[in-house]
Amino acid sequence: TRWAQIHHTFEAPFYYISYATSAIPAMEGFVLSKKDYSAAVKLYNDLITAGTEYDFVELLDRLNLGSPFDKSTITDIVSGIVNVFKQ
Alpha carbon distance 30, 35 (integer Å): 9
pLDDT in tens, 37-80: 999 999 999 999 998 889 999 999 999 999 999 999 999 999 99
Alpha carbon distance 75, 24 (integer Å): 11
Give me the pLDDT at residue 60, please.
96
Q: Which residues contact 9 (CB under 8 A, 6 or more apart)?
A: 3, 15, 16
Q: Report whether pLDDT(12) > 90.
A: no
Q: CA 27, 87, 76 angle in degrees (round to 5)?
A: 35
